[in-house]
Structure 1
């Protein structure tokens, strides 16, 4: 008879694989829930065996990630089964003051020994100072019930709870499930194949393939950390692989493996500063291609920035050169944009999965937005969420007929069409782009609606609308990134400041915050006293013509005509340096105004255009890096005309708030047409 210490409500939730509120609901709604046996009123303790017996009456839903795949009529496991497994794992991995890494390694060693000898009996193990007889009994009983491989995976699943030194580097379960599904879909499993992992770590990706069924001909791995190589060796022994090839370095002068059928890599995360360095993430993609045999498939987990970075000011970063080389060699089979929050530790960084083939093996490249697929299946943590979106993504990648039915989620592209120095992100490539005819129709409709809305107003407004003309652009338009203009000094970036709302009042200098740019508060309602502003020496004020930007919630931008305003975070500002010189006494005589290629209202319109607003979609915090926005390069004459149109438009919008919806729609459509290079503007 196994005995366990009492458990708290939080421990019941953890051991049963549910959330803490679920246990509270069980206790409140069911009178037969076991009563407390100790503790305090705020932290009661419950008998573990009584809780397990009560949970035996509650079966797992078949969609739950905890429930195994069973035949349709087979009985489903209960929460009691999961709870008891959790109790055993807790007993097996009890640290008793010892390092958690050593505890887990001892448990895996004992389990691997039983796997090699093909015995998982209750034969007592000689008690040592590092591994007790009781823990060994729990381990052998669990292995006898669910098998050695499943027990090993359950043990390693406790790494995060035990806070092992390598827990934060484990490949997320969602990515493991997706890769396993893709291998099954593309390579029809791993039976009699050679499988290699170039950045194996603790072996999560390899284990996902091995648990998926099938017996590979050989398993190869590379890992630089000695302790993880030992852990990986034990893990593979638990899966009945006694002689895996494990090397310490995958990035040496020569590939560590050749002619592999499936090659994996989830390399250490690299920040975006590595874009200019030779040590960038896409080096791993190149090495995967070097290790692949004919007809093989490679899978590489990459930070999203490695696909987003483009050339800057005529300089091509190393990561872009390698990406273009992979496209030209036709080594990219697919690019999958992974869901947000897919990695529990890299919560602020988004990831993508590359599917690679040997050179010349990919006539087309499939772009798949798995983030949109995952959103359709609910929020992360929902029962069956991982299995649902991973299964649908693998199906779309593997079947052309399904891709044709869902082009907004997954579509094929020719490699030469992707060599245009634009981000290689599926969310951007799959976004629908309106053509010139669409822009002409949209702006005509919105202009007519605005004219009707302004009919009761002064005739000057209606006349201005009637004089506004649009025509298809004849010459192509070139786009320039806002980041290039900032780095070259043509535009200065003004940060927003964190000033407590309690220090704002109704007198002093006006402020621009989120509420002002979203329309919740009128500009000027909130102000800050100059004496209060003096307490924030880093806070600067705007100048006339500065563009005020809210880089989230749809990218909003307005022009501060008067200046003297204070920006509140997350609002930022952009100052056109050349525009400030126009306020000088000799600006007109020098002809500076006629040569301007950037003007405030033109810049604000292009920033808030739909072209740039798409770049905010899918971001974890719904924000976008201003440096990545694109602005069309126009002639000085067209710049002045566009700025004049946008200036008048903003003036009418400000003066006629009751017609706000109609006039804003017109401005949005005009900016969209110009930004996409479909329209040119002039006033008769």
Structure 2
């Protein structure tokens, strides 16, 4: 593989430059011998020289002129690595949104750097600011800032967990028209505040723990003409607006955070409804939102479905109901929350106002099939708390205050509405899951027993076939602007949730690297797909591409960890460095690696099949007992 200095592009970037799909780029690489070869990256994610690709596209008549926005993005992408891309994008967006930018551009580079000390931190920043400003002159500031945000989100699709525009619009639709000040204490890149913001009419207030994300949110709001005050910091442990009383509070908080500040916030005055359990960070966020709403003000929070029924939170849920704070819960379609694959809920609350009567009913809305019915059902309920619409039910408070205080909408909606059509749909889902399970059966062949000769990682590292790096056991975590992949993230198969700061000793994994935990007994190993900073107690294994296939390595390490965990004494932990890898030809390794990937897909399909089967069992059982179903006479 050749190496070259200068900007590089991925296959996806090339597709966008030429206005074609990625399949066309793959076809060009196969068909045309003069297509530029990779200059970096990995076999699965190669990088190409932008100059060479641009020249080839022009020679083939596939590119007349490099689009201005693509040219800017390639400059941005090649000026910052993955870990610092958000910082650069946020600073460019803030520069475009700066009210004096046009005047500043008439000055020299040194004057711009002096005038924008928070935005210019490197030698390449001023030329990039000029390039972004030039694009804004043509496309407009709003489109330019949104282009930068969109491209960043595409580049880090696994890392960016933003509320979809559809759910943001739905949450905004519940906000009463008279709301003049709206607050989001976990505002991310500003999506919820943008949805509810009305230039000149609504003041947006937000807080975000990631400083770069907060800067980007402020820029996205500013270029739309929305008056905004966005501050950085963790809203639970470092409230930036202690005196704020907003007309409406919208929030999509982080789900299932155990390190939300339970110990240090035990006596916090915000917990008027009870100290949130250590494992229920969402109930802390709900109470934080209520504390920052004016009396009578609205609170709209996206919640995981488990929060409606966990036993640990029933006392607080009871207090929400008894005080009249909780007004409605909306069950949303699957995939509506970026943090969870399970169908989430919207909790609609109102901060109690002295003198107001305590509501006698709580509205339950089933919007799992269509979100369009949710807002009309809510408005009808507000006009008449006893009125019900299709897919909703006003549940008497006394019916909710039982031993469980389970607020799951499906539990309180009328049985026929819950069962009708549900069995048929679930049968279809189960059959589709079984068909997918059959399609994903691993491609393997039975052979006579042939033990594979394996070599310890330590020996392979000495020969240079791979390198092994362990992250520090003690790291400053929990605070900082850098996302860290933790051992728990790795075991649960999720994106990085840890927080930390850049500094000496930080270990960064790149595409094609393999990461395994060195603590705990849960076997895990994952191939990294994009540059990721690693938290404590992780082992980075970087295979030589000419010696090992990364998916082969991850599969065998995961199996080795599972066997070691099963055979080791309960008090001991398997030592990842003693795990062994077979030495096989690279082509054969890739066949193994493909099967390992098929096994992961198979396991996921198996899980979905089990969930569909369990749901069907419950629906049929409830339907038979409640009289909504009866045995088939032809069965």
TM-score by length of 1: 0.46
Structure with higher Rg: it is: 1
